[in-house]
């Protein structure tokens, strides 16, 4: 692979005399306009303007490294821009959405100062030696028009897009926020967990685990109504020993002749009197 040398800083026709540079009349059209305005012979002034435009664009990128955000630019996913002293990475395509105003469109990408990042690494490694107010585990982040020393990891995650709230963790639908261990635990609580006798747990994978018990009279059907209707399929339904029995179970049999996404019928045979049967279901 060829590694090219950096060009010098000179810009073509930058020192042109008055009248030697004329703006090209139709950049999107291109040279076709020359047949309409100059009989197919584009003037020197157009060439000076075009070459100066090329060199100025090159100088702009050389000076800044990352271009400034433009309200009219059509940005693709993963584009990098500068804005108000910070750099951002595009999360989705956009036009006219200002970085720093939408966490679902732009995400801070790096500190505005390399020395800030170096100092932050030292602060973490050395427990804040030499930096007032910085403790072990703290990080440093530069952004916007100011640099804040001693930001905690939780604050940093909020700057980068936010930490899921308890409700968002339990909804299990967002993919643009961070999950702390506490919020991961919360995801399995609330509306996703019922620890009662007739209970259930919703898993992030979509699996729904349910349990309970039902009183059964031999030779008759007793219906188990699930606390939550399985949206798509009942994968497994199990019955276990009648509650409280410890012996003589060999002559008893429990079965479920019919079931649906919302219920299952239970039948107990060869049992004198009624019995309480424990059940468990898995579904999606």
What residues contact 52, with CB distance under 8 A and at least 6 apart? 11, 12, 13, 14, 16, 21
Hey, what domains does the chain have and what are their CATH numbers?
15-65 (no CATH), 195-283 (2.60.40.3940)
Q: What is the pLDDT of residue 144?
A: 35
pLDDT tens readout for residues 91-141: 999 999 999 888 789 988 764 444 444 433 333 333 333 434 444 444 444
CA dist 20 and 131 (Å) reads 56
CA dist 283 and 261 (Å) reads 8
pLDDT tens readout for residues 156-165: 566 566 778 8
* Span between the terminal Cα atoms of the chain, in Å: 53
Total-model pTM: 0.44
Q: Mean pLDDT of all residues in the chain?
A: 79
31-49: average pLDDT: 95
Q: What is the pLDDT of residue 47?
A: 96
Q: What is the pLDDT of residue 184?
A: 87
What are the residues facing 107 on neighbouring strands?
89
Q: What is the pLDDT of residue 63?
A: 80
Residues 161 and 177: beta-carbon distance below 8 Å: yes
Residues 163 and 177: beta-carbon distance below 8 Å: yes
pLDDT band at 153 (very low <50, low <70, confident <90, very high): low
Residues 258 and 252: beta-carbon distance below 8 Å: no
Residues 210 and 235: beta-carbon distance below 8 Å: no
> What is the secondary structure of 20-56 as a DSSP string?
S----S-TTTGGGGHHHHSTT---HHHHHHHHHHHHH
| Look-up of token digits 């804005």 | 83
Entry field: residues in the chain: 284
pLDDT at 284 over 80: yes
Helix, strand or coil, per DSSP, at residue 191: helix
pLDDT tens readout for residues 12-25: 999 999 999 999 99
pLDDT at 251 over 80: no
pLDDT at 151 over 70: no
Neighbours of 164 (CB within 10 A): 22
Residues 209 and 230: beta-carbon distance below 8 Å: no
CA dist 270 and 254 (Å) reads 9
Greatest mean pLDDT range, 10-19, 65-74, 167-176: 10-19
The percentage of residues in the chain with a pLDDT greater than 70, rounded to a whole number, is 75
> Tokens for 181?
């261990």
pLDDT band at 240 (very low <50, low <70, confident <90, very high): confident
Q: What is the pLDDT of residue 148?
A: 41
Q: What is the pLDDT of residue 137?
A: 43
pLDDT band at 33 (very low <50, low <70, confident <90, very high): very high
Q: What is the pLDDT of residue 164?
A: 85
Helix, strand or coil, per DSSP, at residue 70: coil
> How far, rounded to the nearest angstrom, does the alpha carbon of residue 248 sit from its chain's CA centroid?
56
Element (H, E) at 187: helix 181-187
∠ CA(17), CA(20), CA(24), 5° rounding? 140
pLDDT tens readout for residues 184-223: 888 999 999 999 999 999 998 899 999 999 888 777 888 9
């Amino acid at each position: 692979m060829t590694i090219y040398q950096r060009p010098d800083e000179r810009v073509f026709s930058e020192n042109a005399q008055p009248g030697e540079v004329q703006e090209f009349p139709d950049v999107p059209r291109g040279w076709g306009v020359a047949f309409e305005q100059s009989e197919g012979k584009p003037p020197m002034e157009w060439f000076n303007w075009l070459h100066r435009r090329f060199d100025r664009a090159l100088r702009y990128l050389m000076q800044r490294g990352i271009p400034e955000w433009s309200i009219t630019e059509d940005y693709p996913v993963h584009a990098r821009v500068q804005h108000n002293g910070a750099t951002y990475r595009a999360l989705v395509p956009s036009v006219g959405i200002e970085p720093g105003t939408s966490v679902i469109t732009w995400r801070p990408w790096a500190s505005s100062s390399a020395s800030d990042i170096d100092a932050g690494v030292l602060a973490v490694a050395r427990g804040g030696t030499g930096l007032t107010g910085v403790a072990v585990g703290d990080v440093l982040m530069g952004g916007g028009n100011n640099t804040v020393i001693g930001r905690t990891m939780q604050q940093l995650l909020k700057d980068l897009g936010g930490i899921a709230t308890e409700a968002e963790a339990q909804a299990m639908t967002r993919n643009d926020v961070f999950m702390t261990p506490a919020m991961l635990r919360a995801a399995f609580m609330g509306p996703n967990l019922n620890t009662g006798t007739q209970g259930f747990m919703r898993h992030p994978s979509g699996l729904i685990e349910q349990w309970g018990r039902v009183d059964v009279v031999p030779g008759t059907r007793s219906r188990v109504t699930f606390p939550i209707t399985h949206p798509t399929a009942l994968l497994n339904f199990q019955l276990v020993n009648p509650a409280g029995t410890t012996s003589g179970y060999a002559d008893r049999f429990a079965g479920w002749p019919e079931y649906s996404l919302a219920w299952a019928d239970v039948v107990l045979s060869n049992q004198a009197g009624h019995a309480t049967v424990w059940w468990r279901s898995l579904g999606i």
